[in-house]
Amino acid sequence: MIKSNKQIYVRRALLPSGWADNVLVILDDHGGIQRVIPNTQSAEQPSPFTLLPALIDTHIHGSAGADVMDATHESLNNISRFLASKGVGAFLATTVTAHHNAIERALVQVKNSQKQGVDGAEILGSYLEGPFFTAQHKGAHPQHLLHQPEKALLQRWIAVAEGSLKCVALAPEHPTSLELIPWLKSQGVRVMIGHSSADYALTQQGLNQGADGVVHCYNGMNGLHHREPGMVGAALTHDQCQVELICDGHHVHPAAINVVYRCCGERLLLITDAMRAAGMPDGEYSLGEMTVQMKNGVVRTESGSLAGSTLTLERGVSTLQQACNISFAQAWLHGSLYPAKALGIADRLGSIAPGKQANLTLCDTAGEIQATFVQGKLVFQR
């Protein structure tokens, strides 16, 4: 698999130009890719595995019994290690609606753990999901803690995060939302719309104000109807709208996945929305301040609402491939290159090319993850 500490030689690799055979990747001393040499002639046999750009999960709450809201380095490190075992090289640590002090503790810990470093997938920053939502589509967010966005509160959280707060989700129907979207963008924060009753026109208005996309399309919003196209209709038809999708077979029907793919193309971003039950047995778990039940891998609140997922991103790739009848390579890009573009970090992550960071994944012919590299370091090997 590895010719030396700085060389990876594989039978096949997914490069920006497409598939290439007998690819030698030479790493530099700083965790980057120095050279990529396809059709390498060598006396040594290449690894039988396929080399891919590592996946990027832009919306995940937890896994392996750990949650971002635990606000501990140990939990974030456990999530990081679990993700690396699933081919993920980087992630946005996502909060849920809770009391302000609990959210703030989580944001501060994400900042600290990002600085300290973790053992698996790297932490790209935090994603604030809640409390700026409305009741009708609250999902697993406690209704009594929901409220409109407040600039002073956001200023405080941006300050304590010290540049690590990368995304804020909100419902556009709050009186303060539309005016705060361009302000958040001016602070370098990505804005996503969701857990909302907004109609087509209001969603379009939010997107035109600078919001980047919608939170887990179809879930936590009004559905698509031919006389009321709703948030889904706005997401599918707005050319700049990034569209998160949970491809786990429970949140979205395969035909509805195909609709998003056909309408959105590269705007479709695979996410997991996974919570601490991912990778764990059925049973009772906590999600923020709520107790939820996982049965047959599906997590629900007491009222029956879906409460995050137990999806892993490489399974999401497989589901997308099957639902849309597309190639494995095309499906993989929706979990690697396109999320990197959405976060504005495609110059660093999301593809295998000289000058990029060496976040790489090896899988076998069955698609099972065999190894993951983060910044050129082997962080997982089966």
Give the catalytic positions in this structure: 273
Determine whether the annotation assigns residue 331 to a binding site: no
- The reply to whether 179 sits in an annotated binding site is no
Q: Is 308 annotated as a binding residue?
A: yes
Annotated ligand binding at 227? The verdict is yes
> Which DSSP letter does residue 54 get?
P
Q: Produce one character per residue of 10-49: b if its CB has 16 or more CB atoms within 10 Å, e if not.
A: bebbbbeeeebebbbbbbeeeeebbebeeebeeeeebbeb
Is 250 labeled as ligand-binding?
Answer: no
Sequence-distant (6+) residues with CB within 8 A of 3 are 9, 24, 44
262 annotated as a binding-site residue? no
Q: What is the DSSP string of 333-356?
A: HTTTHHHHHHTT-TTTSSS--TTS
Which residues, 6+ apart, have CB-to-CB distance to 223 below 8 Å? 230, 232
Q: Is 140 annotated as a binding residue?
A: yes
61 is in an annotated binding site: no
Q: Is 251 annotated as a binding residue?
A: yes
Rounded CA separation 215/196 (Å): 10
Is 225 annotated in a binding site? The answer is no
The answer for residues whose C-beta is within 8 angstroms of residue 204's C-beta and 6 or more apart is 234, 238
Q: Are 133 and 146 in contact (CB under 8 A)?
A: yes
Tell me how crowded residue 201 is: count the other CB atoms within 10 A of its CB. 10
Read out DSSP for 130-179?
-SS--STT-TTS-GGG-----HHHHHHHHHHHTT-EEEEEE-TTSTTHHH
Determine if residue 238 is labeled as part of a ligand binding site. no
Can you say which residues are annotated as belonging to the binding site for substrate?
140, 219-220, 227, 251, 306-308
- Binding-site residues for Zn(2+), in ranges, read 129, 195, 216
Residues belonging to the binding site are 129, 140, 195, 216, 219-220, 227, 251, 306-308
